[in-house]
Amino acid sequence: MHDAGDSHDPFEIHKHVDVELKSGLDAKTLNKGPLDKRLKIIGPEELKTRFDAELSWLLLITMASAKVADNDTKFEAVSGRRVAVVGGGVSGLAAAYKLKSKGLNVTVFEADGRAGGKLRSVMHNGLIWDEGANTMTEAEPEVGTLLDDLGLREKQQFPISQKKRYIVRNGVPVMIPTNPIDLVTSTVLSTQSKFEILLEPFLWKKNDLSSKVSDASAAESVSGFFRRHFGQEVVDYLIDPFVGGTSAADPDSLSIVFVYCLILLILISLPTIHDQMKHSFPDLWNVEKSFGSVIVGAIRTKLAAKGVQILPDMLCKGLSHDELNLDSKVLSLSYNSGSRQENWSLSCVSHNEMQRQNLHYDAVIMTAPLCNVKEMDVMKGGQPFQLNFLPEIKYMPLSVIITTFTKEKVKRPLEGFGVLIPSKEQKHGFKTLGTLFSSMMFPDRCPSDLHLYTTFIGGSRNQELAKASTDELKQVVTSDLQRLLGVEGEPEFVNHYYWRKAFPLYDSSYDSVMEAIDKMEKDLPGFFYAGNHRGGLSVGKSIASGCKAADLVISYLESCSNDKKPEDS
């Protein structure tokens, strides 16, 4: 790298490899002094070669400098333009952060009284818990970039004993094997299933291209995909509980192309995947399409010491009061191509003031759930823009129950991340999806004499139970924990949070949802959609979706700045 304080000429950046090879001279000698002295050392026979090399590097440097200047000009062209972000979840906040960092004027509209969406952390009487997402990963590069920009690296916390995870089989929690040797002795799967897992890469590698998944198989269910690779038992005792515990759905209803969850642990028996998983279900489908076999690694989960809500809190700190409008519901959007700037008008109402506001913007990023978008009035060129092409989307309800027990009341505590319960185990009386051992992972989340547990109930497996009262769910959780951990008596503390629409269901017909989103973006210039309806359910996928939408806005506004009006579709 060239040092700005170096007194040598600009050509010093060149390492003179070509001349060194021809003349055999010491590279340090060639790289010292001004250009004319170096040319004398080389000799007249190398002069032309040397001049051509130096000139080539000068041209490259000039082109690189021009590109940097072009990028600066690009951001100058969009600086000050106004963008509305509808929805204050992590997707919307990530989009707003990126846009503001590029000099754009951003306003976030959130209908709720708080920002953060499904990232919701609570601190109460020495307890810390998450009522939504409990972990996030860095499989998406946008996540790592955002953590660095916000200075959150030092606030990350790795779960203790994160490799110890349990599945219930025949009413008993069994640790999931973390390597092929453990798989041999594990009772999670039968001997036949163990062989199917270990031989899977070799069996699929020998198959020809006709045996690999095709584009026509993109709508295949999660259970169908893994049943083809590993058999029904793997689906019942690995896929089913992980899908239920991460997306509140069942593997028969989910499409392999759209689902995102911590399925990485399912394949921990393969030698190549231990501690390396970075892929989502869409990635698994693409891997099989390319290589036949499924070869992935295990995700390493991370969690901020004070809960994952620290991420949206830090993003909100970068927004002023005028830039973050809470309790503000967007009622209508209107696009008019008659002007070169601020083609979008937005109408909203505050829950506090109950007074309608009409505001104008150059572009809109929509991150609200599609069911909420359908309720908005959208106009284009003075005419209603019908949203009847938006399909109905199913949402999974979920109840999150936080309990604490004194340590002497937990007779069979398990060290590790948590336990998931397959739907087949309901025959043994279990009703929950699974439980995270929150204080085992993070001891600072409760006093040292307590165990803190986070239990999930509902999803597609038991939608009605998710709606039950706190008292009823407390008894359900206590009963399951008694079977799993030997807890005695009532919990010391109980907290219940109900998510009426925890997750959109990525079923086999979800292609129509993506087509509808694409149609909105195509027919409405300057309108971009982001969030967990597109690309995946995880925190990382949502962050990436928001950042990518911000990039699209910047490109759109830059194209509009060159005396070009946005074309009306």
pLDDT at 28 over 60: no
Question: What's the confidence (pLDDT) of residue 256?
Answer: 59
Q: Of residues 243 and 549, which shows the higher confidence score?
A: 549
Question: For 86-90, 274-278, 402-406, 536-540, which range has the lowest pLDDT when averaged over its residues?
Answer: 274-278
Question: What's the confidence (pLDDT) of residue 161?
Answer: 54
String of DSSP letters for 134-153: --B---SHHHHHHHHHHT-G
The pTM (predicted TM-score) of the whole model is 0.71
Question: What's the confidence (pLDDT) of residue 35?
Answer: 39
Nearest Cα to 381, choosing from 569, 511, 175? 569
Question: What's the confidence (pLDDT) of residue 111?
Answer: 93
Q: Could you tell me the pLDDT band of residue 403, with boundaries at 50, 70 and 90?
A: very high
Q: Could you tell me the pLDDT band of residue 218, with boundaries at 50, 70 and 90?
A: low
pLDDT at 285 over 60: no
Question: What are the counts of helices (DSSP H) followed by strands (DSSP E) for the chain?
Answer: 19, 21
The span from the CA of 552 to the CA of 317, in Å, is 24
Q: Of residues 53 and 390, which shows the higher confidence score?
A: 390
The span from the CA of 213 to the CA of 482, in Å, is 44
- How much helix, strand and coil, in percent to the nearest 5, is found in the chain? 40, 20, 40
Residue 473: C-alpha distances to residues 409, 411, 477, 527 (Å) = 19, 22, 6, 42
- What percent of the chain stands above pLDDT 90? 35
Q: Could you tell me the pLDDT band of residue 96, with boundaries at 50, 70 and 90?
A: very high
- Report, as an integer, the average pLDDT of 305-330: 88
Show the 3-state SS of 176-241. CCCCHHHHHHCCCCCHHHHHHHHHHHHHHHHCCHHHCCCHHHHHCEHHHHHHHHHCHHHHHHHHHH
Q: What is the Cα gyration radius of the chain?
A: 28
Nearest Cα to 80, choosing from 342, 314, 322? 342
- Report, as an integer, the average pLDDT of 414-432: 89
pLDDT at 523 over 80: yes
The per-residue b/e assignment along 232-255, b for 16 or more CB within 10 angstroms, e otherwise, is ebbbbbbbbbbbbbbbbbbbbbbb
The span from the CA of 503 to the CA of 563, in Å, is 42
Per-residue pLDDT reduced to its tens digit, 340-365: 677 899 999 987 767 788 999 999 99
Question: What's the confidence (pLDDT) of residue 75?
Answer: 54
The span from the CA of 267 to the CA of 189, in Å, is 13
Question: What's the confidence (pLDDT) of residue 286?
Answer: 45
Per-residue pLDDT reduced to its tens digit, 439-466: 988 888 899 999 999 999 998 788 899 9
The answer for residues whose C-beta is within 8 angstroms of residue 184's C-beta and 6 or more apart is 194
pLDDT at 198 over 80: no
Question: What's the confidence (pLDDT) of residue 49?
Answer: 46
Question: For 54-63, 223-232, 484-493, which range has the lowest pLDDT when averaged over its residues?
Answer: 54-63
Question: What's the confidence (pLDDT) of residue 307?
Answer: 76
Average pLDDT, the chain: 74
Q: Could you tell me the pLDDT band of residue 561, with boundaries at 50, 70 and 90?
A: confident
String of DSSP letters for 35-87: HHHHHHHH-GGGHHHHHHHHHHHHHHHHHHHHHHHHHHHHHHHHTT-EEEEE-
pLDDT at 225 over 90: no
Residue 78 token pair: 């969009």
